[in-house]
Amino acid sequence: MKSDLYSDILATVSKSAHLDVKKTFDLVCSLLRKIPGYDWTGIYVVKGGKLVLVSYDGEKTDHDVISLGDGLCSLAIVRNDVVNEFDVRSNDKYLACFPSTRSELVVPIRFEGKAIGELDIDSDKTGAFSDRDEKFLLEVGEMISRKVQSVYGP
Ligand code: SME
């Protein structure tokens, strides 16, 4: 069941404190990609006024650096809030990475309340993400927020 998968992932991430930053990010991306509908998973960190892709699982993207202001990824940082886009084709802020993507969920990773990075999930299905996905990813973000802070640069 999907909820078991969420719990298993949270348990594994909570045991990853000993791993270095890059290994933790890679682990998180590969675990998240096991969830049905999570067709591309990535972690962006704010660095020098840009969003920098520090890890991903799935196809390679040209958008490994995004200027703050562009795309749904920036919206999540600027608003310090979740962006859950049911149909990316209906949002003119959407920055296309893969032709197959239909919905996208971007969840801020916060340190002391400030959005310093994000988990970005693309799905090939329209409306793939629920409130449960949002809460789950916020929890994952909290677990890795110290490590994200260690590579964050304003
Ligand atoms: N679609 C994102 C860009 C990143 S890719 O999905 C990997 C956006 O609109 O910001």
Q: What is the pLDDT of residues 27-44, one digit of tens each?
A: 999 999 999 999 999 999
- Say how many Å lie between the CA of residue 22 and the centre of ligand 1: 21
pLDDT score recorded for residue 84? 98
Any atom of ligand 1 within 6 Å of the Cβ of 104: yes
**Integer angstrom CA distances of residue 114 from 73, 104, 118:** 15, 22, 11
pLDDT score recorded for residue 22? 98
- Say how many Å lie between the CA of residue 20 and the centre of ligand 1: 26
Structure tokens, 132 = 């449960």
pLDDT score recorded for residue 119? 99
**Domain spanning 2-151: CATH 3.40.50.150:** no
The answer to whether 132 and 10 have CB atoms below 8 angstroms apart is no
What residues does each domain of the chain span?
A: 2-151
- Say how many Å lie between the CA of residue 91 and the centre of ligand 1: 12
Q: What does pTM read for this prediction?
A: 0.97
| Regions of the chain with pLDDT less than 50 | none
pLDDT score recorded for residue 61? 97
